[in-house]
Amino acid sequence: MPLMDLNDMLKHAYRHRYAVGSFGIDDTLFMAGVLQAAEETRAPVVLNLIATHFAEDELESFIPLVMQAAHTATVPVAINVDHLSDGALAQRVMSMGCNGIMIDHSSLRFSENVGRTAECVKLAHQCGVTVEGELGHVPGEPVDGEGGDEQILTSAGEVKAYVERTGIDCLAVSVGNVHGHAKGSKMDLARLVRIHQAVDIPLVLHGGTGLTLEQYRKAIDNGVAKINYYTGLADAISKRIKANLAADHRAVYRDLMHGVTENVRAEAVRCIKSWRSDGRAAEVSAQCRAVGEVEYVATLAVGNTASGKPGIEPVLQEAQRSLASIPGVARVSIGASRTHAGRYCVIVTLVNETAARHFLESQRHRQVTSKLALSYATDWSDGLYVEMD
Ligand SMILES: [Zn+2]
């Protein structure tokens, strides 16, 4: 099925008091285990790509595989890129179809965190992408390189202003939770309660691995609608690899990796049930918006070009480059008709309907299309197209 709008998915969880599992995946074995768990328990799920775990080119070559797997799933899936601090990378992952981003400026001062996060929110919302911000700092995942990595608890007194000024859709909180191995983390429940009273948006808990069932339940009862969980899955994989090696010290790669997906699946099932997202897939599919690609198609017939003007082909190539740089554009193709001389088409694929609306209104699109239509076309027709059910 198409991707599910992440904001809708989290609001559903928030209203119905459960938390969607946002499982950190490093490769296709992780991903297969998580998707098997979601299918088995009929749970909505977030495939979470932790930006700091990948080189940029690795991330960009992994995303299409994740998109493909998400579309094959029969439960609602959203794809989130976590701990981004680079606006250009954020724009690229959105144009590749990821429908959630977490902007992490948590180690910066309040005003700087607000300013930089708000900038990303503006761009992301034009692309129909859900944004998570972080106030306070959950240690263990430093990203900015400017601030430190010490724990800063979220100030309940600041959250309202933070949410209003940034326009974020959901908020990562620091209430004693820690990334990585932190068995027995203390959760400052009183702080979480005050945060939840101050803002009416879904809250997100990072560092989900170190918490007890009791802590999860209390967090969910106090506004947490998404739990980011990675270390527990990575541990489940390491455990299996170590056991495979212990059983056969000459084991090669394939033998070492045998069964790791099964271990991820079992651990993700345990989490999904603890967070009460099992059995929610049907309601989420019925009540939340699906996000599918939209195509903008223009066809033009070119008469004898006016004297002094360059030929149409370099102009179309320039149009292709210009249109491709508009936020929310996945790809742009241009083509010359094989059957009708002088006819051309431009096909722009947008990541979703919201991105398509902003594309039509954007100044760059208007400039490009009016140049083509007014200066070159004897016949011009354009419009948006969506895939029919
Ligand atoms: Zn995190």
Q: List the structure tokens of 19.
A: 């938390």
Q: For 109, phi and psi rounded to 5 degrees?
A: -65, 155
Indicate the number of domains in the chain.
2
Q: Please report the DSSP string for 88-113 in residue order.
A: HHHHHHHHTT--EEEE--TTS-HHHH
Q: Which of 82, 104, 169, 278 is catalytic?
A: 82
350 and 128 in contact (C-beta within 8 Å)? no
pLDDT (0 to 100) of residue 140: 83
Residue ranges making up the domain that contains 358: 292-386
**Residues 175, 65 share a domain:** yes
Residue at a domain's end among 227, 252, 287: 287
Q: Residues 354-364: what's their mean pLDDT?
A: 97
From CA 132, how far away is CA 363, in angstroms rounded? 28
**Residues 125, 146 share a domain:** yes
Residue 340 to residues 8, 214, 319, Cα–Cα distance (Å): 46, 69, 21
- Is the predicted pLDDT of residue 114 greater than 90, yes or no? yes
How far is C-alpha 227 from the geometric centre of its chain's CA atoms?
A: 14
Cα(70) to centroid(ligand 1), Å: 21
**Residues 283, 296 share a domain:** no
**Residues 216, 95 share a domain:** yes
Question: Which residues are bridge partners to 384 per DSSP?
Answer: 296
From CA 369, how far away is CA 389, in angstroms rounded? 29
Cα(335) to centroid(ligand 1), Å: 44
Cα(134) to centroid(ligand 1), Å: 10
How far is C-alpha 67 from the geometric centre of its chain's CA atoms?
A: 11
50 and 30 in contact (C-beta within 8 Å)? no
**Residues 380, 239 share a domain:** no
Cα(15) to centroid(ligand 1), Å: 23
pLDDT (0 to 100) of residue 141: 74
Cα(47) to centroid(ligand 1), Å: 13
Q: For 317, phi and psi rounded to 5 degrees?
A: -65, -40
- The stretches of 110-221 forming alpha helices (DSSP H) are 110-126, 159-166, 189-198, 213-221
Read off the pLDDT of residues 222-243 as tens digits, 9 standing for 90 and up. 999 999 999 999 999 999 999 9
pLDDT (0 to 100) of residue 388: 81
Cα(332) to centroid(ligand 1), Å: 34
- The stretches of the chain forming alpha helices (DSSP H) are 6-16, 28-41, 56-72, 87-95, 110-126, 159-166, 189-198, 213-221, 231-247, 253-256, 260-274, 281-287, 312-324, 353-361, 363-375
pLDDT band of residue 3 (cuts 50, 70, 90) is very high
pLDDT (0 to 100) of residue 147: 63
Read off the pLDDT of residues 199-215 as tens digits, 9 standing for 90 and up. 999 999 998 888 899 99
Cα(240) to centroid(ligand 1), Å: 24
Report the CATH number at residue 138. Answer: 3.20.20.70
Mean pLDDT of the chain: 94
pLDDT (0 to 100) of residue 142: 61
Cα(338) to centroid(ligand 1), Å: 51
- Is the predicted pLDDT of residue 17 greater than 60, yes or no? yes
351 and 3 in contact (C-beta within 8 Å)? no
The H-or-E segment that residue 290 falls in is strand 290-291
Cα(5) to centroid(ligand 1), Å: 21
Residue at a domain's end among 287, 318, 344: 287
**Residues 267, 172 share a domain:** yes
Contacts of 232 (CB under 8 A, 6+ apart): 208, 209, 267, 271
Residue 47: helix, strand or coil by DSSP?
strand
**Residues 189, 63 share a domain:** yes
**Residues 360, 267 share a domain:** no
pLDDT band of residue 387 (cuts 50, 70, 90) is confident
**Residues 172, 231 share a domain:** yes
Residue 198: helix, strand or coil by DSSP?
helix
**Residues 135, 186 share a domain:** yes
Active site residue 82: yes
Cα(293) to centroid(ligand 1), Å: 29
**Residues 9, 82 share a domain:** yes
- Is the predicted pLDDT of residue 305 greater than 60, yes or no? no
From CA 204, how far away is CA 224, in angstroms rounded? 5
Rounded to 10 degrees, the C-alpha dihedral 53/56/61/65 comes to: 40
Report the CATH number at residue 358. Answer: 3.30.70.100
Cα(179) to centroid(ligand 1), Å: 6
Residue at a domain's end among 264, 287, 310: 287
The H-or-E segment that residue 21 falls in is strand 20-24
Angle, vertex CA 105, rays to CA 101 and CA 108, nearest 5:
175
86 and 103 in contact (C-beta within 8 Å)? no
pLDDT (0 to 100) of residue 277: 98
- Tokens 């900015």 appear where? 144
pLDDT (0 to 100) of residue 139: 87
97 and 352 in contact (C-beta within 8 Å)? no
**Residues 273, 317 share a domain:** no
pLDDT band of residue 216 (cuts 50, 70, 90) is very high
Read off the pLDDT of residues 245-276 as tens digits, 9 standing for 90 and up. 999 999 999 999 999 999 999 999 999 999 99
Read off the pLDDT of residues 132-178 as tens digits, 9 standing for 90 and up. 999 999 988 766 556 677 888 999 999 999 999 999 999 999 998 99
